[in-house]
Amino acid sequence: MKRAAVVVFVVGLLIVALLSLAAPRASAQTPSDLTDGLVSCWDFEEESGTRYDAWGENDLTDNNSVTRGNGVTGYAADFVAANSEYLSVTDNSTLDLVDQFTIATWSNLNTDHIARLVSKYDVSGNRSFVLRTTSSLCAVFSFSADGTNITNVESAACGTAANWLFVVASYDATTVHVGVNNSYTTSNRDFDLFNSGAPLTIGGVGSYLDGMIDTTAIWLRALSNDDVTWLYNSGNGRSCADIINTAPPPTPTPTITPTPTPTATPGPLIYAADLPSGGSGTMTMEVSAGDVGVILAVGLLAVLNVVILISQLVKDGTLRWMR
């Protein structure tokens, strides 16, 4: 009887395994195509000198020897405020943020202080925006619609010194969103950013940054909450490569290829059968991998029933020779 119990157990495991062949597999959730509207993305992996744009053509010039430190993903640009260090790129049409945009950046400040993170901000009459920290390490998005007058939207959430902060500002033509570490403040606004000719700077000019900046990206659209949450990644961040890899694979261009010579390949299962009229015919059955699993599972269930029946007969004494 112990042998029969073992057989029943093994057959049951096989049935579970075979039925799992047809079970659907859950797929990992992914964001939208984050290359849609992407202007530039910088990872700051370089030890010094030019910081290269991983997506666009806005390579950043090193001003006053910005160095490198350990970042959220890989390395980060390391700034010393006392040396007036910053990175910059000359204004061009790709950097015209007007009515819809998102700016996302990772920063790690050595102390609590006001620091410009990303900006296009010059003298009065040539001001567009500044994304900066407050002295309490909250985030502020300051912007101008006329190049002179400034409006500020400040986040309720703040960070702490010597810790990485994910700072985001976006505008969807009706609402400004400003946040730290995936906690956002919104403000209903109706404006177009002034199209300043000032260079884009990272790390300051005026309110210089003492600390590091890692992966920074700019889009000409307002990202969704799900996209921003994906970028935050529970505080682990995403690299420019991660962002670029959200793009769907390109559709291959059809090409004309010669028709190959047919070769013999295994065909479907074919069964012969006698027809009621006395003639003959064939029945074709094509079976998928999932179908095979189900068929085998049903067969094993039949075997299991036979084993149980035999075990019962042995127990009742009907089949003494099995004892």
Cα separation, 204 vs 216, whole angstroms: 14
Helix, strand or coil, per DSSP, at residue 132: strand
- The residue among 94, 93, 173, 168 whose CA lies nearest residue 138 is 168
Per-residue pLDDT of the chain (323 residues; tens, 9 = 90+): 444 443 334 334 333 343 343 433 333 457 999 999 999 999 999 999 999 999 999 999 999 999 999 999 999 999 999 999 999 999 999 999 999 999 999 999 999 999 999 999 998 999 999 999 999 999 999 999 999 999 999 999 999 999 999 999 999 999 999 999 999 999 999 999 999 999 999 998 889 999 999 999 999 999 999 999 999 999 999 999 999 999 998 888 777 777 777 665 555 544 444 444 454 444 444 445 555 454 555 565 665 665 566 566 556 665 444 44
Query: Among 24, 7, 22, which residue's Cα sits nearest to residue 297?
Result: 22
Q: What is the DSSP letter of 53?
A: P
Q: What sections of 153-288 are H helices per DSSP?
A: 225-232, 240-244
CA gap 122, 208 in Å, rounded: 14
Residues 6+ positions from 6 with CB-CB distance below 8 Å: none
- pLDDT score recorded for residue 18: 35
What pLDDT is recorded for position 265?
58
Backbone dihedral angles phi then psi of residue 139, each to the nearest 5 degrees: -105, 140
